[in-house]
Structure 1
Amino acid sequence: MFEACLDRGLTLKKVLDALKDLISEACSNVNSAGISLQSMNPSHVSLVQLNLRSDGFKIYRCDRNLAIGVNVASLYKIVRCAGNEDTVTLCVRDKADCLFLTFETESEYKVSDYVMKLMDLDVEQLCIPERDYSCVVRMPSKEFARICRHMTQIGDAVMITCVEGGVSFSASGKLGTGNIKLSQNSSVHEDEAVIVEINKPVQLIFALHYLNVFTRATPLSKTVWLSMSADIPLVVEYNIKDMGHIKYFLPPKIDEDSS
């Protein structure tokens, strides 16, 4: 049997909202350590990785390892029925063919029960190696979302340039060009700081469509980390407070002008 209880339904809503526009189906691996998910988008361009530790739940029980396959959009529709402050309990019984969801208000005057059929998904788990990146940028997640949104008004792709002391975002298109530069600033509040850790300057181009999808995770964390090196996927990481993280991986686009 598997059972996991969250204090607030809002957390699960935010997690699913961060997934639903990128992946349609997902297979979560559940064990005593927590819940992990890894899935590529349907066009196999981007990868998302989610990890929720068992100690981040109010109640957590997992008697045996499970693979739980779900339709992400359908699960999100059900979880939206929970109040933001409701306690949410997820349960898979020994038969492991259904996910049971219970939403309970704080005063316990209202309890809602839902049952969702699980999917039998054969998902290959990729081995993602730990790397030392040429550049790691830590910045406010709302600012990153704002920049991606603004750059979309100019073009379909953004060039991210990391040099000592700052990071810049540039786009070009029929409308013209746009450039936003952020200087390193660690003297402000931690959530508002821009920190650039650089071993080697980096200049890479990424599709804005995917970056804007990634920013759906903005409500989960006040800070976002961008890890970059030449010829390998960008990692966009949001920490989920006291629970884990969600990471998105996106390969750089080839600059046709330089080929």
Structure 2
Amino acid sequence: MMELRLVQGSLLKKVIESIKDLVTDAKFDCTSTGFSLQAMDSSHVALVALLLRAEGFEHYRCDRNISMGMNLGNLSTVLKGADNDDIITLRADDDGDTVTFMFENPTDEDRITDFEMKLMDIDSEHLGIPEVEYDAIVRMPSAEFTKICKYFCSFGDTVVISVTKEGVKFSTSGDMGTGDRRYKQKNTVDKPEEATIIEMNKPVSLSFGLRYMNSFTKASSLSNTVTISLSSELPGLVEYKIAEMGYIRFYLAPKMIEDDERV
């Protein structure tokens, strides 16, 4: 038996909205420690990893490990039935083929919505993602990162992220010309969400598909800050913390010159 009660129902809605255009079908895993997801996009260029720890739920019961395959477009449609301040409860039997969503309005106890959604059989392998040391880590306001990606999409298909001792630079080029935006280290004690923090072991410069980066920024509604981790031999990592209960991480393979037509 699985039963998860999330007081901040809007949080689950934001998570699904941030990934449903990137991943069509995904398998959610529920264990005694948390509720998670790991899925690749159809082109196998980007990987999404989600974790919501058990401690972040008001009530969390998972008698044994359960995997639930869902179409994220359908799940988004179901969650539209919940208001942003609704409490969302998920229930599923150990060997069942459905999951039930219950939406409760905290100010109107007479209004309760139930929806039973059919689960899918999804054959996907859970990848072991190792913890690694990155060449450079940039923490910055998520609104700024969103602004850069959206703006640059008007000019080119690729964003180059370069980290040096001078700071971090985002650049792009296209038929119209070239452009870049630079950020220097900025500590703001009074407003840490506005800080730009750069940790660099060695300089790094990598190119990424803007279409993917722009898609990742849909998760900016979950956090005021974003962390971008880069290494020359590894996929780039874009991470948004989810309150105190977990994270959503996007891994993206860097573009090579010969990949320009593919990505």
Q: Deviations over 1:50-88 (max 9, x none)?
A: 011001001110011111110111011100110111111
Shift of residue 95, structure 1, vs aligned partner: 3.4
Structure 2 partner of 1:100:
100
- Distance (Å, rounded) in 2 between the aligned partners of 1:127 and 1:33: 17
What does 1:125-136 align with in structure 2 at a 5 Å threshold?
125-136=126-137
**Higher mean C-alpha deviation, range 90-99 or range 140-149:** 90-99
Q: Is the 8 A contact 2:188 2:194 kept in 1?
A: no
Identity %: 46
- Give the counterpart letter for 1:40 in structure 2: M
**Matched position secondary structure for 2:199:** strand
Q: CA deviation at 1:91?
A: 0.4
| TM-score, structure 2 normalization | 0.95
SS in 2 for 1:119: coil
Write the distance in 1 (CA, Å) between the matches of 2:106 and 2:52.
23
Amino acid at match of 1:237: E
Which residue is equivalent to 2:110? 109
1:176 counterpart residue number: 177
Deviation at 1:164, TM superposition (A): 1.1
CA shift for structure 1 position 120 = 1.2
Q: CA deviation at 1:44?
A: 0.7
Counterpart contact for 1:23–1:42, Cα < 8 Å: yes
**Counterpart mapping for 1:1-259 below 5 A:** 1-107=1-107, 108-187=109-188, 189-255=191-257
CA–CA distance in 1 between the matches of 2:253 and 2:116? Answer: 38
Could you tell me how far apart the structure 1 residues matched to 2:188 and 2:92 are? 48
Q: Please say if residues 205 and 255 of structure 1, whose CA atoms lie closer than 8 Å, have aligned partners that are also in contact.
A: no
CA distance in structure 1 between the partners assigned to 2:238 and 2:170 by the alignment: 15
Does the aligned pair in 2 maintain the 1:228–1:234 contact within 8 Å? yes
Q: Which amino acid aligns with 2:35?
A: I
Runs of 4+ off more than 4 Å: none
Shift of 1:127: 1.3
User: 2:261 matched to which residue of 1?
Assistant: none
Between the aligned partners of 2:65 and 2:48, the Cα distance in structure 1 is 21
SS in structure 1 of the partner of residue 77 of structure 2? helix
CA contact (8 A) 1:35 1:52 kept: yes
AA in 1 matched with 2:119: L
Q: Is the 8 A contact 2:66 2:94 kept in 1?
A: no
For structure 1, the 5+ residue unaligned runs are none
CA contact (8 A) 2:71 2:120 kept: yes
| Aligned-residue CA RMSD (Å) | 1.0
Q: For the Cα contact (< 8 Å) 1:160–1:170, is it kept in 2?
A: yes
**Does the 8 A contact of 1:231 with 1:251 survive in 2?**
no
**In 1, distance between residues paired with 2:94 and 2:202?**
52
Paired with 2:79 and 2:254, the residues of 1 have a C-alpha distance of 34
**Aligned AA (1:138):** R
When structure 1 is superposed on structure 2, of 64-73 and 86-95 the one drifting more is 86-95
Whichever residue aligns with residue 13 of structure 1, its letter is K
Query: Aligned partners of 1:221, 1:131: CA distance in 2, in Å?
Result: 23
